[in-house]
Amino acid sequence: MTTAVRLATDKDTGVAVVTLDRPARLNAIDLTMRDELQEIWRELRFDDTVRAIVLTGAGERAFSTGLDRDAVVPQPGSPFMSDDPLLRIGPKSNDLFKPVIAAVRGMACGGAFYLLGESEFLVADTTAAFFDPHTTYGMVSAYESVLMTQRMPYGEVARMMLMGTAERISAQRAHDIGLVSELTAPGEALAAATSCAAVLAAHPAEGVQGTVRALWAAKEQAIAAGFAQAPHLIALGNLPHERQAGLFTARRPGFRTR
């Protein structure tokens, strides 16, 4: 059976590597990948041999470009019950409080921030680039913005979210502002993240997991408050799907990297 996410576990080190595995689609998240991520996070909650996790994307071009534009997301008929397909794809939203380190290579944008926002820290190589396309295509960046305000200075988040596809944050800039904790040569982010994960896995699990929970507690109330507003802002601000599709089709190539 074809899977959209790979899980590899090293019982000797206690490290699991979760790989988004749709490189031909730039690891865009479809509903199959969403479901598999939820299953994997829940599986890892009960696997006591895994004490630290690395999250990465397959291929050289992207960590993930967010929600697959071809994904068909069923919605309730009521505007008061809209479903966000990515809201439960991260480890914390599945009650997993083992440390997760993201290893980023290539593009990370849009819905990828659901995953990066629930990771403890990011390791990236120099090919990494971060941006959010929502505003370019007539959509509100709500959940992504809330999560990223917990990772970056406000002005940097605001600029990234509002500039849309016109601008990307380079790996070096991401490191300078604290979004990325370690910068590596091309292709070396996964090894560096795995090395960090092995250190965490070697510590007593109770202390590590308690610290992860404490760190998340420091910001989860702010996230919950922001998320409470998100559905209404999206409902008010998103253009109809056909207008979004028109903007996507008419998009112009080219962007500034800073």
Is the pTM above the cut of 0.75? yes
Task: Give the whole-angstrom CA distance, residue 230 versus residue 83.
Answer: 11
Task: Please identify which residue in the block is written with the tokens 């070697």.
Answer: 202
Range of the domain at 64: 5-186
In a domain, 195, yes or no: no
SS3 180: coil
In a domain, 194, yes or no: no
In a domain, 180, yes or no: yes
Handedness of CA 80, 82, 87, 93 (dihedral sign): positive
In a domain, 224, yes or no: no
In a domain, 171, yes or no: yes
The pLDDT profile of the chain, 258 residues, written as one tens digit per residue, is 569 999 999 999 999 999 999 999 999 999 999 999 999 999 999 999 999 999 999 999 999 999 998 887 777 777 677 778 899 999 999 999 999 999 999 999 999 999 999 999 999 999 999 999 999 999 999 999 999 999 999 999 999 999 999 999 999 999 999 999 999 999 999 999 999 999 999 999 999 999 999 999 999 999 999 999 999 999 899 999 899 999 989 888 899 999
In a domain, 249, yes or no: no
SS3 20: strand
In a domain, 103, yes or no: yes
In residues, how long is the chain?
Answer: 258
Our count of domains for the chain comes to 1
CATH of the domain at 132: 3.90.226.10
In a domain, 253, yes or no: no
